[in-house]
Structure 1
């Protein structure tokens, strides 16, 4: 009776946490609008010159992110579908949830559907809770294409790779190889952050198979080759040299490595305190013990050297940070930290599962924890930690402040009116600033200088000679001449 009661509390809490994170994201999706930063520039270039010439222009003139370039140059503005931006956040949320559920379902094969579903919901809550930038994760299309999309593809790829090993020989298995190769190609071609992560991950797995298991895995070798070719395609782009050339602080190898590990240590320390990952790990421990039993579907997957795995885990996380210090000499941006926390969390529970394998009398801590179950005291501690984490979460506070405080609705109304005014005919259009800039929805606005890049992109898209942001005007009131 006691286990049933505490189990029901745990289940209800998991559902509540998922809804707490998911509902405001889906609701705010209806208030989303294209950003002056990049969204109009991509659309104007694609409309003016065509889809493929736009790819060529950006590949040669700014960045080698060939796959995310294709996504942003096909954004709804290109098709004249302004309100299509209201679907993008909901699609990003759904894609992330789908990828997480696919991976969790594969790792927890043999567990009940309810367990897999609730585990996915809690993981999603943790990710949203620790977001350093909500807008860059789910609402700004340019950042979604470069960071959220490859993160989703990488998570899904891991599930596809696991699935391949348990498939019988045949066409389905061969097609899975092609599908996995495409996921590698697309993820690496979306951004440098996931490029580093995925390339190192594939090399590590293939290397472990070769060195420790004495197996040359053709599937992994093929994926590594695809990853290397994809990396070459991205870095060979002339635009990369142009973009990176403006960073005089780049190129300090040793200093960048030290700074990366230092930043990682500070970040992990903050996450362990500010998020409930530690008490949730205690709740996950019984599941970890079950999925590592000798008769479990993926028992061999978790039969890894725990110390070596932990070192590799730390090294890959530091490698995600490294490009920021090496490329621009600065700590990673918030959007990079969003990605880092996703894989910190996934890796944390994977490493924890490997450590949960019974290793005999020399592991007294493991032996003690092996008896841990969902008890009422554990739930009480977890509940207190959860309340504190939610109260101090910047992302959760932003989401609910923008949604319930009315800022999102005001922003939506004024941006819709601005769009209507932008569709009017005028050589020079003067627009008033928006009265509110909700941080969960807003990135950049046009500027008072008509020659600013954001202004030029919007004026080109709407066929005006110039657009000017005039703070002397009332909100959404145009002045034409």
Structure 2
């Protein structure tokens, strides 16, 4: 372990694993197309009713997610920029990666840039192999706006909050940062219930700890809590929420939802430990955690918290992320919700682990001078990461769609379909696509011309009806 070659080799391997998931996802982005599910409905409503009136319509009749509604009703189809959908996955991937880097830059402040970059890279790798659905994370615009965007904004908000406390008191930078952080809270809450629950409880937990344990009233945190509560009221008061929840007879059962949340949590944590390289990477991170908690570390104060309290908060926040699915629709979380769950679970684990390392070091259980990472630990991590990569179904589908040409075929046939959709005529008969790559595709139009997806595309392209010819022979 004393040889410098091994650390360098370990770092190169870490960045290699990162590229193994980042590069194919980024390339696949440029084969993306608007989905028949929702994308055309948002665009048709915005073009027909006007951008702002579309916001009012969805707020009153379907959902109070005012910020994600703002994003989806401004999707590239509204501008007539069809190819803009190829940039949405690339931007969402880069946005999530950038937000993780921002947070790691604050949590690991004082460490070498290579340590920060490697931690970010390995976290991103772990997120990607643990995720449930690539298409719902990056390629389906409706899910990106309601889940991936607020997740990235939450990581970035935490970085802004940590940074705020070391800004100079004089000048405008602090007040402007308060305004910016409040806007981020407004945007996160208004994007979806999963991140709303997480953020509100997290802000309350931090503010409560400051008040009850540190005997300090924190105006900055109090302002963010107030912004979160007002934003939550704005979302939950939406008439559209009652319409959406009223369509499911299993919604609204608090006790069943509470029990279901913790049951699903136990199952999900077990899955995370198996699907991601969390265990071996945690072992490799311990020396870094020790450096973060040493005297003189600029971020030591962040981890000087009661480990038991942080652990309870960690478990409670994860369960709270699952709760809205059970309470709202009476069912376990969808893949897109679990994508967010695993992202937050991994970052939260890193923080909780560092707090425990700090506690054990103060108790004399861990001694940095004597601590040596076992020589087999990097090898174990490498094997575990290879296994995680191989058995990650979403990542395997990405590679399959790229290497077998499914994405290219889909792209070519969707381009041809668009040319057909642009043709004039009241009624249009559309051929089905020969291959639907699961890493890109959600839903197609329906053989029934009265289906909502058909009506939305027909309205957007100024046709009376669009029919999918299921028995077409070419």
Q: Structure 2-normalised TM-score?
A: 0.98
Where do 1:260-271 residues align within 5 Å?
A: 260-271=261-272
In 2, Cα distance between equivalents of 1:371 and 1:405: 51
Residue ranges of structure 1 left out of the alignment (5+ in a row): 476-481
1:405 is displaced (CA, Å) by 1.1
1:7 is matched with which residue?
7
In 1, Cα distance between equivalents of 2:26 and 2:380: 30
1:380 aligned counterpart, secondary structure: helix
1:247 is displaced (CA, Å) by 1.1
Q: CA 1:25/1:161 → structure 2, altered by over 3 Å: closer, same or farther?
A: same
Where do 1:209-288 residues align within 5 Å?
A: 209-288=210-289
1:370 is displaced (CA, Å) by 7.7
2:93 aligned counterpart, secondary structure: helix
1:472 is displaced (CA, Å) by 2.0
Q: CA 1:340/1:361 → structure 2, altered by over 3 Å: closer, same or farther?
A: closer
1:445 aligned counterpart, secondary structure: coil
1:357 aligned counterpart, secondary structure: helix
1:185 and 1:230 in contact (8 A); partners too: yes
1:241 is displaced (CA, Å) by 0.4
Q: Does 1:96 align with 2:96?
A: yes
1:407 is matched with which residue?
406
Q: Does 1:182 align with 2:183?
A: yes
1:431 and 1:473 in contact (8 A); partners too: no
1:144 is matched with which residue?
144
In 2, Cα distance between equivalents of 1:87 and 1:27: 11
Q: Does 1:382 align with 2:381?
A: yes
In angstroms, what is the RMSD of aligned CA positions? 1.3
In 1, Cα distance between equivalents of 2:57 and 2:358: 53
2:71 and 2:145 in contact (8 A); partners too: yes
2:211 and 2:218 in contact (8 A); partners too: yes
In 2, Cα distance between equivalents of 1:215 and 1:474: 73
> What count of residue pairs does the alignment treat as equivalent?
473
1:325 is matched with which residue?
326
2:429 aligned counterpart, secondary structure: strand
1:3 and 1:374 in contact (8 A); partners too: no
1:274 is displaced (CA, Å) by 2.0
In 2, Cα distance between equivalents of 1:411 and 1:145: 24
1:379 is displaced (CA, Å) by 1.1
1:283 and 1:373 in contact (8 A); partners too: no
1:289 and 1:370 in contact (8 A); partners too: no
1:363 is displaced (CA, Å) by 6.3
Q: CA 1:464/1:370 → structure 2, altered by over 3 Å: closer, same or farther?
A: farther
2:22 is matched with which residue?
22
1:190 aligned counterpart, secondary structure: coil
1:298 is displaced (CA, Å) by 1.1
When structure 1 is superposed on structure 2, of 383-392 and 128-137 the one drifting more is 383-392
1:397 is matched with which residue?
396
2:31 aligned counterpart, secondary structure: coil
1:71 is displaced (CA, Å) by 0.4
1:380 is displaced (CA, Å) by 1.4
2:301 aligned counterpart, secondary structure: coil
In 2, Cα distance between equivalents of 1:238 and 1:370: 61
Where do 1:35-434 residues align within 5 Å?
A: 35-169=35-169, 170-359=171-360, 364=365, 366=366, 371-434=370-433
1:131 is displaced (CA, Å) by 1.0
1:329 is displaced (CA, Å) by 1.1
In 2, Cα distance between equivalents of 1:361 and 1:394: 42
Q: Structure 1-normalised TM-score?
A: 0.96
In 2, Cα distance between equivalents of 1:165 and 1:55: 36
1:3 is displaced (CA, Å) by 3.5
In 2, Cα distance between equivalents of 1:337 and 1:3: 41
Where do 1:464-479 residues align within 5 Å?
A: 464-474=463-473
In 1, Cα distance between equivalents of 2:11 and 2:360: 30
In 2, Cα distance between equivalents of 1:261 and 1:423: 50
When structure 1 is superposed on structure 2, of 465-474 and 232-241 the one drifting more is 465-474
Provide Cα deviations, 1:150-187, integer angstroms capped at 9, x if missing partner.
Answer: 00111000000000001011200110000000000001
2:31 and 2:411 in contact (8 A); partners too: yes
Q: CA 1:257/1:302 → structure 2, altered by over 3 Å: closer, same or farther?
A: same
In 2, Cα distance between equivalents of 1:445 and 1:371: 60
1:330 aligned counterpart, secondary structure: coil
Provide Cα deviations, 1:363-383, integer angstroms capped at 9, x if missing partner.
Answer: 64x45x884445531111112
In 2, Cα distance between equivalents of 1:347 and 1:337: 15
1:6 is displaced (CA, Å) by 1.5
2:300 aligned counterpart, secondary structure: coil
1:473 is displaced (CA, Å) by 1.9
In 2, Cα distance between equivalents of 1:360 and 1:4: 26
1:468 aligned counterpart, secondary structure: strand
Provide Cα deviations, 1:333-365, integer angstroms capped at 9, x if missing partner.
Answer: 00000000011000000000000115468664x
1:479 is matched with which residue?
none
1:2 is displaced (CA, Å) by 3.4
1:301 aligned counterpart, secondary structure: helix
In 2, Cα distance between equivalents of 1:232 and 1:20: 42
Residue ranges of structure 2 left out of the alignment (5+ in a row): none
In 2, Cα distance between equivalents of 1:253 and 1:358: 36
Q: CA 1:3/1:305 → structure 2, altered by over 3 Å: closer, same or farther?
A: farther
